[in-house]
Amino acid sequence: MHGEDLLLRQAFVDYSQRHREHEQVTQAFLTLLDEGGVDPFTRERLAGHFTGSAWLVSADGKRALLTHHRKLQRWLQLGGHADGDHDLAAVALREAEEESGLPGLTLASADIFDLDRHWIPERKDVPGHWHYDVRYVVVAGGNEAFVVSEESLELAWRPVDEIAKDQDESMRRMANRWLQR
């Protein structure tokens, strides 16, 4: 097991202690981390794999930057595949930078903000599979002029209190967790 995997294991345990209501979800993430076989940090593990996402908030903490995801056709947080990187906080920060074009982003903490296991439907030659999404808080600097990447149809800064009313349970959970911090 990589040293980073031991840190991630501890981060999962810490998350589970902070969010007892997510204990079963956390257990699924620990099981994936501990499984042998194909590296769960790569897309080659077709049954499911880790991804890293960013709850990207404005410097004042009142808005979050969301993407209208090109493939999934939904408004979501920024994030993506680990592609072999076992440091999921670094993955989340990198994905936020790549997908937003924003300079000066910082990881607020190495603590996991949220965990979400969700199904990704089959697409072309990629079978349907699970994403084990590990989410971190990323904070924008003073420049909020984003650049839309090819992965997005659109980006938008949305008030967190509006996201808290979103139809997507995962988006509501993150927004409410942020509002209650």
Give just the sign of the alpha carbon dihedral 53, 58, 64, 68.
Answer: negative
The total number of residues written for the chain in this structure: 181
Q: Which residues pair with 56 in a beta bridge?
A: 138
Amino acid letter, 78 = L
Q: Which domain holds residue 152?
A: 3-179
Tens of pLDDT, residues 69-83: 877 788 999 999 999
Region 1-5: what's the mean pLDDT? 77
pLDDT of residue 150: 84
Q: How many structural domains is the chain composed of? A: 1
Q: How confident is the model at residue 138 (pLDDT cuts 50, 70, 90)?
A: very high
On the question of pLDDT at 3 being above 80, the answer is no
Cβ contact 55:178 at 8 Å: yes
Q: Which residues pair with 140 in a beta bridge?
A: none
CA distance 135 to 138: 9
Tens of pLDDT, residues 5-42: 999 999 999 999 999 999 999 999 999 999 988 999 99
Domain CATH number, residue 74? 3.90.79.10
